[in-house]
Amino acid sequence: MLEVQGVEGGYGSVQILNGVSLKVGRGQIAALLGGNGTGKSTLLRTISGLIKPWRGTISLDGERIDGRRPDLIVRRGLVQVTQGKEAYPAMTVEENLRLGGYVRNDRAALRRNLERVYEYFPVLKNRRNQLAATLSGGQLQMLCIGRGLMSEPKMILLDEPSAALAPQVVLDIFRIINRICRDGMTLLLVEQNVRMALLLAEYAYVIRDGVIHIEGPAEALIKDDNVRLSYLGGTVADRDHGLTMRP
């Protein structure tokens, strides 16, 4: 579904991406892992059109999307979900969600999508008329994921869903993400909680210095001694937390 080939780019004259290539198949969960400043979020912003790549190609369903406007990329079915701090605090939960469906003109579809989001996140339905400013950090993250689902995307780019959240809230968020993906969503997940990401994903890429340093099936990487030593130290305990490894 998504194919990134030899992408270079960055901010101004500062190069961050140095020839990144990766693929995510339809219905697949892929994880993009790495430390701070390695290029993870820059790559997501480049894929979603917020940054124009200097070189390389990005294709969705065989069609080039590199260099296109972000709104056109959303209309093609690719949505980036940012961290919960990107919610609009002065708007209600439902107003925030409805913003996510701005590309849809079908009112019946919007109502259906809204009910689907509330099915995934009952806490949002209970707080539908509250201002986003009154939500907890975990609820804000749920709100941003739900807003991304409102356009019925083919694929979601999910950026650091566990950032600054309590451990139990992280588990709850990942269980919901797992359910969404088992319902057929394609996902590229950027996450610093490496072990949790590998439990959720089928395939993973480790980025360092703006290039893919390691890649392979998630089940193999979580057992790889080099990956364990470099990336898995103390992230979470050695158990699946209800996130069954995907085949």
63 and 30 in a common domain: yes
DSSP string, 20-49: EEEEE-TT-EEEEE--TTSSHHHHHHHHTT
**Boundaries of domain holding 90:** 83-152
Reading the chain (247 residues) residue by residue, the pLDDT tens digits are 999 999 999 999 999 999 999 999 999 999 999 888 899 999 999 999 999 999 999 999 999 999 899 999 999 999 999 876 788 999 999 999 999 988 777 888 899 999 999 999 999 999 999 999 999 999 999 999 999 999 999 999 999 998 888 889 999 999 999 999 999 999 999 988 888 899 999 999 999 999 999 999 999 998 887 777 777 654 433 444 455 544 4
216 and 184 in a common domain: yes
Given 96, 125, 152, the domain boundary residue is: 152
The CATH number linked to 209 is: 3.40.50.300
Place of tokens 């961050």: 16
Whole-structure pTM value: 0.88
Please give the Cα distance from 13 to 25 (Å, whole number).
33
158 and 147 in a common domain: no
- Identify the helix (H) or strand (E) that includes residue 114: helix 107-120
Given 152, 186, 201, the domain boundary residue is: 152
Are the C-beta atoms of 33 and 218 separated by less than 8 Å? no
Q: And the tokens for 64?
A: 């080039």
Distances in Å between the Cα of 101 and the Cα atoms of 20, 26, 150 are 31, 22, 5
Given 152, 168, 188, the domain boundary residue is: 152
**Domains held by the chain: number:** 2
Q: Residue 82 CA to chain centroid, in angstroms?
A: 7
